[in-house]
Every structure is written in structure tokens, then in C-alpha cells.
Chains A and B, each alone.
Chain A
Amino acid sequence: MEVRVSPTRMQLLRTRKRLAVAVRGHKLLKDKRDELMKKFLALVRRNKELREEVEEKLGKAFKSFLMARAVMPPEVIEEAIMYPKRVLEFDATSVNILSVKVPKFSWAEKGEAQESEIYPYGPAATASELDFAIGSLAEVLPKMIELAEVEKSVELLSAEIEKTRRRVNALEYVLIPQLEETARYITMKLDEMERGNLTRLMKVKEIVRERGA
């Protein structure tokens, strides 16, 4: 690699200082990357579990909904669920995972109904299939909200890991070797000049001694 610096002591000191900073930065970023990776893998695993569970339960809920539509006229279904008894109070905040902001959702059900009472309609006009459908949807909804949260975190973390890994690699394979090379070049040049100087002095001394003799 070509080094373009003036081989002076000043420049050598400066290069060494930069090298120290780069090495320190590299170590810190590497630690960050490892920690991010640890969190990321845990989240990915959780995501996989949740995803499988949600897809399965949602499938069941849709199936019962389909059954409900088969036995009830569509207007009746629409009417039955048009005015929900429950209001989902939903809020989002953000949590900081190693300077990556990820969302955190919280939610609560509000409504005049008791906890067991999730059906916004009376049992008279509706089929029991609809109860099943709504019941299983209610069961899976909290999982879905958590999954949304986890999946978003995974997405954001993966972008951050990629960025950090690029930086680590740039430091490790480009900047640090370059600085080391520069420092070596300057040291060698300085040593060479030192030796040149020494021989010159010895030569001069010899000449002086010859003349004096």
C-alpha cells in the first residue's frame, strides 16, 4: 500500500494516536455487534414461536368465521358485530436497545362488559360458530400485538447489526492496517535517516583525523 505522509517524528506521533483511537473504536463496535447479535437471536427465536402460534390460531378463527357466515346471513353478522362492547385502549412507547429505538406496545380493554363478556350481541339471533370465531380472535389478538412488536424489533435490529458489522470490518481490514503501515513506514524512514547521519559523522571524523595527522 502506498503511504503518502512526510516521514517526520510529528507525523509518527499523530499516526500512533489515530491508531490507538481506531483500535479502541474497533473493540467497542465489536462488543456492540456481539451484544446486538445476542439480543437479535433471542428476538428471532421468540418471533418464530409467536408467528407459528398466531398463524395456527388465526387459521382456526377464520375457519369458524367462515362457518358462521355459512349459517348466518351476512347482514346479521354485520349487525351483530357492528357496535363492539369493548374498546381496545392502545398505546405505543419506544424502548432503547443499544441505541436502536424499538416500539413497545401496551393495551387494555375498556368497556362496560365484564371480562368474560366479549360478544357484542345477544345469543338469540346468532349462531354459536360466530362465538367461536370471536372468542378465538380475542385469544390471538394479544399474541398478534406482541408479534408485531417483536417483528418490528427484529427488522430494526437487523439493519443496525448490518451497519455495525460494516463499520467493524472497515476498521479491521482497512483503517487499522493502513495506519500500521504508515507508522511502520515512518519508523523505517526515520531509522534510515538516523543511520545515514551516523555514517556521515563517522566519515567526517575520519577525514578530520587524517588531516590532523
Chain B
Amino acid sequence: MSMYKIGVIGDRDSVLGFRALGVSVFPVADAESAKRTLRDIVKEGFACIFLTEALAANMGEELERFSREPLPAILLIPNNAGSLGIAMRKMKAAVERAVGADILFQEEVGKQL
């Protein structure tokens, strides 16, 4: 048995299906309980956590805390209402920080906004 685990946090309707694949599922209703759940399961050794964008939109600092650490990797996924483009924007910010200019995403992000 490995010490790391993989889990999904999101609204019930979106994430329930992952249970059938053997992934731990944590259905939450709002960003507050998502924060609490996230803190708890990180302590329990979840290394790869999928989180829906709709929830992530309201938990900025909480996610910031983990962004400098190698683990856990928190991946934002769209929920069943579709993509909000938060993950794409996050990537754009990372590129800008590293390169000093936006070199990859100009057209795509322009279209989304």
C-alpha cells in the first residue's frame, strides 16, 4: 500500500462518477467546506487532488499556500457546468512570471474573455 492517495473535491453531481474508478470522492457544497476538506485530506496524504474550478474561484489564498510545495498537486478541473478558464489563466500567469511576457496564450485567452 502506498502512502499517497488521490482524491476529488467538487460538487456532488460533478464528481460522483469518479468513485466508480476507485478514486476517493469528497462532495462539498461551498468553498468554505471545500477549504476545510482540502486541509484535512492534505494531512491524510493525498498527493494528487482534483478540485472543480467553481469552488477554486473562491479559495484563492488557500490554494496559494500549496503552490510552492512539490506536493500536493492540486489540479483544477471544470465541473459539469463547463470550464471557467481559471486554470488556463493560472497557467498564463506562470508563463508571464517566468518569461516576462505572454508568449503562448494570447489568442486563446483573448477569445475566452
Q: Which residues of A contact B (CB under 8 A)?
A: 37, 40, 44-45, 47-48, 51, 54-55, 58-59, 61-63, 65-66, 69, 77-78, 80-82, 84, 86-92, 94, 101-103, 105, 107, 109, 111, 118-120, 133-134, 137-138, 141, 144-145, 147-149, 151-152, 154-159, 161-162, 165
Q: Are B47 and A59 in contact (CB under 8 A)?
A: no
A-B contact pairs, 19 of them (CB 8 A): A47-B91, A48-B105, A69-B13, A81-B19, A84-B20, A86-B22, A91-B3, A92-B48, A105-B73, A118-B21, A119-B20, A138-B21, A141-B21, A144-B77, A147-B75, A148-B48, A155-B94, A156-B68, A158-B97
Which 7 residue pairs are nearest across A and B when measured between Cβ atoms?
Answer: A62-B80, A148-B75, A152-B73, A158-B98, A91-B2, A88-B22, A92-B47
Task: Give min CB distance, B41 to chain A, whole Å.
Answer: 13
A90/B20 contact (C-beta < 8 A), A144-B77, A157-B98 known: no
The docked-state distance in angstroms from the alpha carbon of A138 to that of B82 is 19
Interface residues of B, CB < 8 Å — how many?
Answer: 43
Task: Give min CB distance, A195 to chain B, whole Å.
Answer: 48
Q: Are A48 and B104 in contact (CB under 8 A)?
A: yes
The docked-state distance in angstroms from the alpha carbon of A107 to that of B23 is 11
Q: Are B18 and A137 in contact (CB under 8 A)?
A: yes
Which residues of chain A have C-beta atoms less than 8 A from B13's C-beta?
65-66, 69
Q: When the two chains form the complex, which single residue of A80, A82, A154 contacts B91, counting CB atoms closer than 8 Å?
A: A154
Q: Are A65 and B17 in contact (CB under 8 A)?
A: yes
Query: Chain A: which residue is nearest B94 at the CB level?
Result: A158
Q: Are A55 and B75 in contact (CB under 8 A)?
A: no
**Which residue of B17, B100, B105 has the most chain A CB atoms within 10 A of its CB atom?**
B17
Q: Mark B12-35, 1 if CB is under 8 A from A, else 0.
A: 011011111111000000000000
Q: When the two chains form the complex, which single residue of B2, B75, B80 contacts A66, counting CB atoms closer than 8 Å?
A: B80
Main secondary structure on B side of the interface with A: mixed
Task: Give min CB distance, B61 to chain A, whole Å.
Answer: 16
Query: Chain B: which residue is nearest A77 at the CB level?
Result: B16
A101/B19 contact (C-beta < 8 A), A40-B98, A51-B87 known: no
Which residues of chain A have C-beta atoms less than 8 A from B75's C-beta?
144, 147-148, 151
Which residues of chain B have C-beta atoms less than 8 A from A91's C-beta?
2-4
The docked-state distance in angstroms from the alpha carbon of A137 to that of B18 is 7
Q: Are A54 and B77 in contact (CB under 8 A)?
A: yes
The docked-state distance in angstroms from the alpha carbon of A147 to that of B79 is 16
